Amino acid sequence: MVNIFPGAERAQRTLFLSLFTAALFLIAACGTEKTAATDTTSSLNAAPSGVVPSPQSTEPISIAAVGDIMLGSSFPDASGLPPKDGADLLKEVAPILARADLAFGNLEGPMLEGGASAKCGPRSTKCFAFRVPTRYGRYLKEAGLDVMSLANNHSSDFGREGVESSKRVLRELGLAHTAEEGDVARLNIKGRKIIVVGFATNNVSYNLNDIEKARRVVADLARQADILIVSFHGGAEGTAAQRVPYGRERYLGEERGDLRTFTHAVIDSGADLVLGHGPHVVRGMEVYKDRLIAYSLGNFATYGKFNLTGALGLTMVLEAELKSDGAFLGGRIHPATQTKPGGPRLDSAGQIIPVVRQLSQADFGQAGVKVDADGRFTRQ
Ligand SMILES: [Zn+2]
């Protein structure tokens, strides 16, 4: 109990009984372990039932976040599947993900069997459609991931059927998801109501190009959550896209967002943490109104046809500690690399650390995070 309420010893005797009762309720309702906390949310994406105020913990919450995950594709054929059927792909990074209170990733590619893709022609060499075996879902669970965003440019590679199949796989494993408009992940961790909402640049998910709508959606969700996490899949792609420009980005003829305006707008509207991905490279981080923004988490576990040269092969697990009200306390970069054909390996040389330091400084100046040599980072 002391672990749950570190301030209890300091509380006045008159407050002790009510705190004790609240703590007991908290233990019963939520547990202190990550597994207990997520297990109690039997319907992870269900709308909140009734108005039962949750007892509030003041303990910080640790978030682990990673970028694009595509563990192997059975489309167009099984040659795109990894050795050992993918069982080892996430093993090295799993302990970092598992110990966080909440671990987030971007599920780049639908999980389904069969189905048809209208996306690519039979002889296309430049079009990528992914189809991840449904049996790979358990690797996400075993790695410690709790919530996946399907709000990206590949989750609809196999149409509605692929999205629904992915959601079903995650639901059966006890992972939450955020996919199309209205589908937000709701979790209860350490007595805090946490909502994760995904934005992308398509018309299935909330569209990050519609900033006025984003403000309304986020403001509405912020009223329902103690901590609101916004995920977005946006920005140009590739080694030339490491910097966060001012104004709108376009890529392959698509509007990929005015990300500085978007991220600040959602925080102005009540978001507490913004997690970006999409460029396939890691971008810098800034702190705005005491809230952390990671502009791109990069590729994370992308097996197969992905280009992993240079900056495309550098990645990380982002660990961020948030106050119980969502304010940013501090964080740590856990460096990793991918080499062809893919799968993250921890990087003792820490190659991504100076990259994030330099990008954060160059793009955000005083607002950029200050990154130490060991990967720990704080606001300036
Ligand atoms: Zn993408």
Query: How far is the C-alpha of 38 from the C-alpha of 34, rounded, in Å?
Result: 6
Q: 152 C-alpha vs ligand 1 centroid, how far in Å?
A: 6
Q: 39 C-alpha vs ligand 1 centroid, how far in Å?
A: 30
Q: 283 C-alpha vs ligand 1 centroid, how far in Å?
A: 15
Residue holding tokens 């997690």? 275
Q: 54 C-alpha vs ligand 1 centroid, how far in Å?
A: 36
Q: 233 C-alpha vs ligand 1 centroid, how far in Å?
A: 7
Q: 18 C-alpha vs ligand 1 centroid, how far in Å?
A: 49
Q: 108 C-alpha vs ligand 1 centroid, how far in Å?
A: 6
Q: 240 C-alpha vs ligand 1 centroid, how far in Å?
A: 16
Q: 12 C-alpha vs ligand 1 centroid, how far in Å?
A: 52
The pLDDT of residue 302: 97
Q: 154 C-alpha vs ligand 1 centroid, how far in Å?
A: 6
CA 33, chain centre distance (Å): 20
Counts of helices then strands in the chain (DSSP H, E): 8, 19
The pLDDT of residue 257: 98
State the helix-helix crossing angle for 211-224 and 259-268, rounded to 10 degrees. 30
CATH architecture of 55-378: 4-Layer Sandwich (3.60)
Grouping H, G, I as helix, E, B as strand and the rest as coil, residue 189 is strand
Q: 265 C-alpha vs ligand 1 centroid, how far in Å?
A: 22
The pLDDT of residue 57: 73
The residue extents of the domains of the chain are 55-378
Q: 304 C-alpha vs ligand 1 centroid, how far in Å?
A: 14
Per DSSP, helices labelled H in 243-286 are 259-268
Grouping H, G, I as helix, E, B as strand and the rest as coil, residue 121 is coil
The pLDDT of residue 44: 65
What is residue 11's DSSP assignment? S
Q: 8 C-alpha vs ligand 1 centroid, how far in Å?
A: 46
Kindly compute the dihedral angle of the four CA atoms of residues 154, 155, 156, 161, in this order, to the nearest 10 degrees. 150
Q: Which two tokens stand for residue 130?
A: 């992914």
Q: 236 C-alpha vs ligand 1 centroid, how far in Å?
A: 10
The pLDDT of residue 47: 52
The pLDDT of residue 124: 72
Its pTM stands at 0.87
The pLDDT of residue 29: 39
Q: 53 C-alpha vs ligand 1 centroid, how far in Å?
A: 38
Q: 30 C-alpha vs ligand 1 centroid, how far in Å?
A: 34
Query: How far is the C-alpha of 83 from the C-alpha of 267, rounded, in Å?
Result: 42
Q: Which two tokens stand for residue 325?
A: 């009200």
Q: 260 C-alpha vs ligand 1 centroid, how far in Å?
A: 19
Q: How far is CA 9 from CA 4, 5, 16, 33, 319, in A?
A: 11, 8, 9, 22, 29
The pLDDT of residue 39: 37
- Closest C-alpha among 43, 147, 44, 67 to residue 103: 147
Query: How far is the C-alpha of 271 from the C-alpha of 196, rounded, in Å?
Result: 10
Q: 9 C-alpha vs ligand 1 centroid, how far in Å?
A: 48
Grouping H, G, I as helix, E, B as strand and the rest as coil, residue 346 is strand
Q: 31 C-alpha vs ligand 1 centroid, how far in Å?
A: 35
Query: How far is the C-alpha of 336 from the C-alpha of 300, rounded, in Å?
Result: 8
Query: How far is the C-alpha of 297 from the C-alpha of 318, rounded, in Å?
Result: 8
Q: 311 C-alpha vs ligand 1 centroid, how far in Å?
A: 16
Q: Which two tokens stand for residue 291?
A: 């809230």
The pLDDT of residue 120: 78
Q: 278 C-alpha vs ligand 1 centroid, how far in Å?
A: 5
Q: 380 C-alpha vs ligand 1 centroid, how far in Å?
A: 31
Per DSSP, helices labelled H in 71-158 are 94-99, 137-142
Q: What angle do CA 13, 16, 22 make, to 5 degrees?
A: 165
Q: 150 C-alpha vs ligand 1 centroid, how far in Å?
A: 10
Q: 71 C-alpha vs ligand 1 centroid, how far in Å?
A: 14
Mean pLDDT per block of 10 residues along the chain (380 residues) reads 34 43 42 40 52 66 98 94 96 98 97 87 77 98 98 93 97 98 97 97 96 98 98 98 98 96 98 98 98 98 95 98 97 98 98 98 98 98
Q: Are strands 250-251 and 254-255 parallel, antiparallel or unpaired?
A: antiparallel
Whether omega before 344 lies within 30 degrees of 0, making that bond cis, reads no
Q: 186 C-alpha vs ligand 1 centroid, how far in Å?
A: 23
Q: 29 C-alpha vs ligand 1 centroid, how far in Å?
A: 37
CA count, 13 A, side-chain hemisphere, 305: 16
Question: Which phi and psi (to 5°) does residue 301 adopt?
Answer: -135, 85
